[in-house]
Amino acid sequence: MSNPTLPQPEPTPGNTAWWTHDRFGLFIHWGIYALAARHEWVKKYEQISDADYQPYFDHFDPDLYDPAEWARIAREAGMRYVVLTSKHHDGFCLWDSQLTDYRATNTPAGRDLLRPFVEAFRAEGLKVGFYYSLIDWHHPEFPVDGVHPQANDLAFREATKDRDVRKYAEYLHGQVREILTMFGTIDLLWLDFSYSQQDYGWSKGKGKDDWQSEKLIEMVREINPDIIINNRSEIEQDFHTPEQFIPPSWLHIDGKPVNWESCQTLNGSWGYHRDNLDWKSPQLLVEMLIDCVSKGGNMLMNVGPTGRGEFDPRAQATLAEIGGWMRQHGRAIYGCTQAPYTPPRDCRYTYNPETNRLYLHVFAWPLKYLHLPGLRNRVRYAQLLNDGSGVKTFDFTQHHRYPSGGEDLLTLELPIQKPDVHTPVVELFLCE
């Protein structure tokens, strides 16, 4: 059905134009937790002390790290931007931070890992973003709270009770300044995360007052007014980040449509997880990407590289499959958004307002006919996108008594065999 009131987010402080166009990004969680190889929260989950976590720092030697290879894989998968964890909750820093010793240069890696990363991804034409953890389980002034790995260690809590979050905030501001000034213009900042509503009894969660988010954002905008920033510092900025779920329709906050990006894992873990078997199929991931774009959103798909610095073979195989689909169907994703029509059952629409083309993504291949409500006399030409083969369109009711789906149905005649692609797409050239 024609829907003239498509959601339209209000303008935000940063420049989201490239981001809403590009739609598909690569998230990378990489740090010394890759050596533990059992989730990036391992330090918390297993209540590991600094001393017991230290071996991962002492043995971090990513000798196979080749960011040019990462960037090539990402581009071939159809991704247009990348977000890498410069620091995760464990506090380990991938760059040569002057504000801490807890950094890659002091591990056997012995070098700054961010600079070659930024250069490699830029060379492949991707926009570059940094994830930065607001939480820090290593910093000596980060007050112990309910999510801290030592939360249950009463002696530790007692010994650290004088920690001053203001001193930590100073450090965090200094580090964000570093990552945004040391490597040229950074396009996106992904802060993670706030939990001020949490009350553990003996401690409270942390949020914008602890991080001094207003001041932080002000500083970031001063460095780069166009940068786009997510919402997790507890201050609304350019986009929202539903994590491992896709909203049922265009995401609304306080009744208003917003820019949104669903971040997704390949297997439930962000960091490298050797023994995890929960791998999503490429088919499912393609459908998830389509689903996001059909609701006006982006998808940020994660890979957790190994301790030696490679994407493991399972991730590589998945990305290659998605890339195969993107190569043929990219124009149903880039520059597309929610369509002003309601798709038939088991299908999604994406729509490119510039070219006025509507893309019908068929999740369950039907028998021969597919009936599209509201599209009679609105389509000039239809073709399968994978091979550019024409698809016949007609008014079904001229030939059959059924269906009784309304006067405005347009019917497509599809081949009996599903095209050999993850999700077939019919490109519909709409009338002016």
Quote helix, strand, coil % in the chain, to nearest 5.
Answer: 30, 20, 50
Q: Give whichever of 307 and 343 is closer to ligand GLC, judged by the CB atom.
A: 307
Minimum distance from CB of 193 to ligand GLC (Å)? 5
131 vs 359, which CB is nearer to ligand GLC? 131
Task: Give 194 or 386: the residue with its C-beta nearer to ligand GLC.
Answer: 194
- 213-223 vs 165-181: helix axis angle to the nearest 10? 20
Matching residue, tokens 């509503």: 197
Distance CA 399, CA 395 (A): 8
Residue 104 or 263 with smaller CB distance to ligand GLC: 263
Query: Which positions lie near ligand GLC, rule CB under 6 A?
Result: 29, 40-41, 192-193, 243, 263, 270
Output the smallest distance, CB 365 to ligand GLC, in A: 33
C-beta closer to ligand GLC: residue 93 or 430: 93
**How far apart are alpha carbons 404 and 343 in whole angstroms?**
17
Q: Which is nearer to ligand GLC, 187 or 261 (CB)?
A: 261
Closest approach, Cβ 40 to ligand GLC, in A, equals 5
Helices (H), strands (E): how many in the chain? 12, 16
The torsion angle over the Cα atoms of residues 221, 224, 228 and 229, rounded to 10 degrees, is -40
Q: Which is nearer to ligand GLC, 20 or 86 (CB)?
A: 86
Q: How far is the CB of 402 from ligand GLC (least distance, A)?
A: 47
Least CB distance to ligand GLC at residue 8 (A) = 26
Taking the complex as a whole, how short is the minimal distance between the CB of residue 415 and ligand GLC, in angstroms? 40
Tokens 């009711």 map to which residue? 397
Please identify, using beta-carbon distances, which residue of 40 and 124 lies nearer to ligand GLC. Answer: 40
For residue 333, report the phi and psi dihedrals to the nearest 5 degrees: -120, -60
**Whether the Cβ atoms of residue 195 and residue 147 lie closer than 8 Å to each other:** yes
Residue 63: count of CB within 10 angstroms of its CB: 11
Q: How far is the CB of 142 from ligand GLC (least distance, A)?
A: 15
Using the CB atoms, write b or e for 7-22: b if 16+ within 10 Å.
bebeeebbebeebbeb
Contact status, residue 267 vs residue 285, Cβ threshold 8 Å:
no
Q: Which two tokens stand for residue 128?
A: 């570059």
- Measure the CA–CA gap between 61 and 308, rounded to whole angstroms: 6
Mention every residue, 6+ apart, whose C-beta is less than 8 A from residue 301.
24, 25, 26, 27, 79, 263, 264, 266, 285, 289, 322
Closest CB 265 distance from ligand GLC, rounded Å = 8
Shortest gap between Cβ of 383 and ligand GLC (angstroms)? 38
Q: Which is nearer to ligand GLC, 302 or 411 (CB)?
A: 302
> 179 in the Ramachandran plot: left (φ > 0), alpha (ψ -120 to 50) or beta?
alpha
